[in-house]
Amino acid sequence: MSSLSPLLFLILVPIFSALLIMIGANPRSTSILGSAVNLLFLLALVVFYRPMEIGYQFVSSFPVVPHLGISFTLGADGLSLVMLFLSTVVTLAAVCVAKTPENNPRWYYVSLLLISSGVIGAFASVDVFFFYMFHELALIPTFLLIGIWGSGDRQAAAWKATVYLATGSFILLLGIIGLYLIQPVETRSFDLREMIANAQSGLIPDAPGVYLLLLLGFGILVSLFPFHTWAPQAYACAPAPASMLHAGVLKKFGLYGLIRIVAPILPDSVQRFVPLLLVLLIGNILYVGYITIAQKKLDWMLGYSSVMHMGYIFLGFAALNQLSMTGASLMLLSHGLTIAVLFALCGEIRERTGTLDFSELGGIARICPKLGLSFGFAAMASVGLPGFVGFAGELLVFFGAFGSGEPKIGIIDGKEVFGFNMYQIATTCAVWGIVISAIYMLRAYRRIFMGPLPERWSRLPDLSGFSRAAIILLIAVMLILGFFPQILVNLATPALLVP
């Protein structure tokens, strides 16, 4: 047994705030205060973190089922801190933009805080069993937020998400159990450090069946094509704060798991099934991208856009080299921040107009210039404009993926001719995805904020109060890290165990 990790504080603050709300504290104020304390505490941990030291820091471990190798182990390295920062900053923004509902307002904010506690626990866990369990904790309030406080066909969206995510979680559990069983009996453990040590010592054999279970389980949770159809409907029907937390943070659990667990333990299996994964991620980028262009409502467009952008991160994982994996790590953060801002603004537009149909909107920038400017920044960040953190992530993924694999050589008229290999073909498709992103994001901006202003929107209020502060915070973070991406690179790169 070891001393308490300060990471436990990050997990408990949202839970403590939720308890205060349930016994009578003001829901909105308590949520904002608790989330702000968590963000400040995380920033303090980053200051005390030693980036040149390899391995986990702030570690504590308490045996739970010792004979099975299960322990409640918390720790953080550079990649964990990046994800914990994403979790805390998006949580603060989500509770700031939240509009207190008339029915069960306390449970509304409690649900948001429990999602936050779950994702923080998952990213702070070194034990794979608790990594999984914390994610399950975060899923339950997500379903409640969609089904109770959502809009549109919220019940159908909640049930569809429940079926898909429950199936993905069950498959993932089978994969984790398989990962445990393929270890030597005398060294079996759920501790990620011991698993990786066993793999590096050659004690874990190539296990394609286990890898496929993990890829399928994580893939469903991340909305990998063709298991993506639950996500757009769920995000469109969910309240804006729930969409911010799920699409911005909780959805990164699967990709984080692939980078953190699968890549260092089963690299041979990853490379064996690269052609399959490349085909699926191209489906995310191109097929879902063209569907995104066809959307006529902002919330559905953003839902499909979120699914599309997962393809870029899968490409970074599939290439399995230092450059691409670093880019994928940066994109975990950049996409989380960007989609959180977009869903926050989507919620603000819905709150003011009662509609998100492109055909009913237009000219809003004339009377809501702050709203229009913020959406413009977020749209450019989503496209990957230089100056935003997403640009650095995409660039690293593209260069890393394009340089993977052996050059394809053919013989024409007795001469050697070099062609594109499968990685380079996938990268080319991914670059075309940027053009698709620019089309639908610029079209959305034009239809909502430009053109003639309908008379009924002539008195809409502009961004103000906590909502404006939250959106400014997220945009500022995207710009700061966009101009200084080496902050993230220096944190994440030492933590990436690339075979």
Which helix (H) or strand (E) is 364 found in, with range?
A: none
DSSP letter for each residue of 191-250: BHHHHHHHHHTT-S---HHHHHHHHHHHHHHHT-TTS-THHHHHHHHS-HHHHHHIIIII
Q: How do strand 408-412 and strand 415-419 relate by DSSP bridges?
A: antiparallel
pLDDT tens across the length of the chain (499 residues): 457 889 999 999 999 999 999 998 899 999 999 999 999 999 999 888 888 788 889 988 888 888 887 888 899 988 999 999 999 999 999 999 998 888 888 999 999 999 999 999 999 999 999 999 999 999 889 989 998 988 878 888 888 988 999 999 999 999 999 999 988 888 888 888 888 888 888 888 888 999 999 999 999 999 899 998 898 999 989 999 999 999 999 889 999 999 999 999 998 898 899 999 999 999 999 999 999 999 999 999 999 999 999 999 999 999 988 899 999 999 999 999 999 999 999 999 998 888 899 988 888 988 999 999 999 999 999 998 898 988 999 999 999 998 876 666 555 555 655 667 888 889 999 999 999 999 999 999 999 999 888 888 888 888 888 999 999 999 999 999 999 999 888 888 888 866 5
**What's the pLDDT score for residue 63?**
86
**What's the pLDDT score for residue 418?**
63
Q: What angle is formed at CA 164 by the lines to CA 163 and CA 170, rounded to 5 degrees?
A: 90
At residue 58, the 3 state secondary structure works out as strand
**What's the pLDDT score for residue 409?**
58
**What's the pLDDT score for residue 493?**
84
d(CA 244, CA 250): 9
**What's the pLDDT score for residue 2?**
59
d(CA 279, CA 125): 32
d(CA 125, CA 84): 11
pTM: 0.92
